[in-house]
Chains A and B, each alone.
Chain A
Amino acid sequence: MCNEAPGRYTTCLLPPRPYPSGVQNASANLGLDDAELARRIASAPDGSDVAAETELYRRLAPRVRLYGLKHLRDRQAASDLAQQVLLLTLERLRAGKLRDAEQLVSFVFGTCRMMVLELRRTGARRERLLELYADDVPMADPAATPRLDQARLVDCLERLPERERSVLVMTFYDDQPAREVGVALGLSEGNVRVIRHRGIERLRDCVTEGLR
């Protein structure tokens, strides 16, 4: 399978395969840190350590996806980024070009940065097309993340003091910095940060309490 990544990247590599029967769950049994996993992949004959590759993919993909979400603010683009970066990383490891944790993180970080720049360029093109054809395109999926009990979260929001609730709502609806929220509510930037921090801590504790 060949993946045509944006820009100059072209990878021809299979993502880690599911475990064959008899290979046990990697996270439960490998007990290795990222660097040890990298060394195992690098020292195995090309792509033969399925368990180590799968485990490394499982660990790194969510981190790269978060990086993508932070810098691209688009779930689909972040998922694409994670897949492309991880395929390139495994390819590097199989070729024996990354052997320690520092090299691994540095390669993943560098690749993320370059790919985000490329995706931003293609994203700008996509934005222009959306502006032209906005009425014909369905809105982005507004569904909440399935990791949360949404009813519980709304209940916890309702329990917050008014100021904290307003600041959290106006911050996280579309990820606005303290300065913008402060201007809208007649509060100083520092004051918004204090209220925001207190509010998110209370919200997190309340939601977590509901899971126990």
Chain B
Amino acid sequence: MTAPSCADPIPLATLLEYWLGELDAAREGELDGHLLGCSHCSASLQSLVDLAGGVGAAVRAGALDAVLSDAFVQRLAARGLRLRQYHVPHNGSVHCTVAPDDDLLITRLAAPLLGIERLDLERVGTGGSSDLERLCDVPFDAAAGEVVFTLPMQRIRALPETTVRIRLIAPAPSGERLVGEYTLHHRPYQSSDGH
């Protein structure tokens, strides 16, 4: 059954600001009252909350391929998620794996990012094939000097022994500039007794 219509529906952007606590107290109180009396707007808010809950659940399940930030990774750790992290030096390489009880794999690529306006990330090998993936316009904090990302755990666990190559590229009107190249030597997990 659809909710009855509302003469003055709350826009999605305002519902977002309300849910995330970005409104001042007076406006928030106004919306509290409206939402308690309006099934149309409360249904809109509920669908937004459902989406938000689903995104959170996807993170906790290690199902996402996403560029993150150091502060966010620290929040994940503080919430009790088991993180396996690899710091890859600028133009360097690491040997890596994921253990059965890891919740998330976090890769940190050190890079000189100051002055860069836009950054693309190219990678080969994360899907178990030689296909090139290019993530365009990834977010980054230039001052942090690193790009942080996570990959779906199910995909990583299914990988055989493989080499993943990653390049950070700064596109510019005059042409692309290579910012950094990285190599990840992945091996399926082996416990200390060899299993």
Chain A positions near chain B (C-beta within 8 angstroms): 27, 33-34, 59-60, 62-64, 66-67, 69-70, 101, 104-106, 108-109, 112-113, 139, 142-145, 147-148, 150, 153-154, 157-158, 161-163, 165-178, 180, 183-187, 193, 196-197, 200-201, 203-204, 207
Q: How large is the interface on B (under 10, 10 to 19, 20 to 34, 35 or more residues)?
A: 35 or more
> Is the Cβ of A204 less than 8 Å from the Cβ of B51?
yes
Say yes or no: B13 contacts A157, CB within 8 Å: no
Query: Quick one: CB contact mask for B33-44 with A, threshold 8 Å, 1 for yes?
Result: 101110100100
Q: Given A62-B46, A166-B139, check contact A173 B67 (CB 8 Å).
A: no
Using a Cβ cutoff of 8 Å, how many contacts connect chains A and B? 170
Q: How far is the CB of A139 from chain B (nearest CB, A)?
A: 6
Q: Are B80 and A139 in contact (CB under 8 A)?
A: yes
A105 x B33 contact (CB < 8 A): yes
Q: Which residues of B contact A105 (CB under 8 A)?
A: 33, 36-37
On whether A174 and B49 interact (CB within 8 A), knowing A64-B36, A158-B65, A186-B143, the answer reads: no
A153 touches B54 (CB 8 A): yes
Supply 15 A–B pairs (Cβ within 8 Å), ascending by A.
Answer: A34-B37, A62-B46, A67-B35, A145-B50, A147-B50, A162-B67, A168-B55, A169-B72, A184-B69, A184-B71, A186-B144, A187-B139, A197-B16, A200-B48, A204-B51
Centre residue among A105, A109, A162, A197 by max chain B CB count within 10 A:
A162
Given contacts A67-B35, A197-B12, contact A186 B141 (CB under 8 A): yes
Contact B50–A163 (Cβ < 8 Å): no
| Interchain nearest-CB distance for B63 vs A (Å) | 5
Smallest Cβ-Cβ distance to B47: which chain A residue: A204
B81 nearest CB across to chain A (Å): 10
Interface of A is mostly: helix
Q: In the assembly, what is the distance between CA of A62 and CA of B37, in Å?
A: 11
Interface contact A67-B12, CB-CB below 8 Å: no
Is B53's beta carbon under 8 Å from chain A?
Answer: yes
Closest to A34 in B: B37
Smallest CB gap from A134: residue in B: B80
- Assess A63 versus B72: contact at CB under 8 Å? Given A145-B50, A185-B139, A185-B140: no
Contacts A27-B1, A148-B50 given; does A184 touch B80 at CB 8 Å: no
B21:A177 contact, CB within 8 angstroms? yes
B20 interfacial contact with A, CB 8 Å = yes
**Closest beta carbon of chain A to B157's beta carbon, Å:** 16
Chain B residues with CB below 8 A from A178, complex form: 20, 22
